[in-house]
Amino acid sequence: MRRLQRSLVPVLFSALVLVFSAPFGSADDSVDAKPPGEPVEASEDSPGDVHAWDQAAVTRLAIELERLFGELYEKSQHAPPQTTALQQRSREAAQGSIRRARDRSAEYAQKMRAGWDRGASEPYFRLVVEEVTDIFDTAGNAEPVESAQPRIDRMQYVISELQAYYDGT
């Protein structure tokens, strides 16, 4: 199975910033807001290290990733049009990729909630990563917005953490 190199993850997520022209929330909006239930804990290892499989931690990260992609998709629907037709087409293509990534991350989170192990859930995680790659490929000409960066950074961190659980296989 094709593996995403860790060095590409920051580049892929920086492309997500290119999709939006609308600000994300207010100044009071917390980037690290936790979904209902257990909070997402950072692992003791730094992102990029291979982690021993921890079903509960991976499930929490998958649920957070699902939430982040849901927010990203919702915000992308309310962004105003881009300046040029090429940028607008790029943004619309990226929105389709974000929708697919949202759907894939929801499917992945559903599998993790059902208790699927590393071997069974890895293909679903890889599909999410492929959709992120597609977002990068389609967003290249859209205008960037700095206000999306905190959420993009959080998504990058979550993907890096999840990647570390699957790289040991």
Kindly state the average pLDDT of the residues 82-99: 84
State residue 34's pLDDT score: 42
CA-to-CA distance for 127 and 84, rounded, in angstroms? 31
Kindly state the average pLDDT of the residues 122-147: 78
State residue 140's pLDDT score: 64
What are the DSSP calls for 40-97, one per residue? PPPPSSPBTBPPPP-HHHHHHHHHHHHHHHHHHHHHHHTPPPPSSHHHHHHHHHHHHH
Highest mean pLDDT among 18-27, 46-55, 77-86: 77-86
State residue 42's pLDDT score: 43
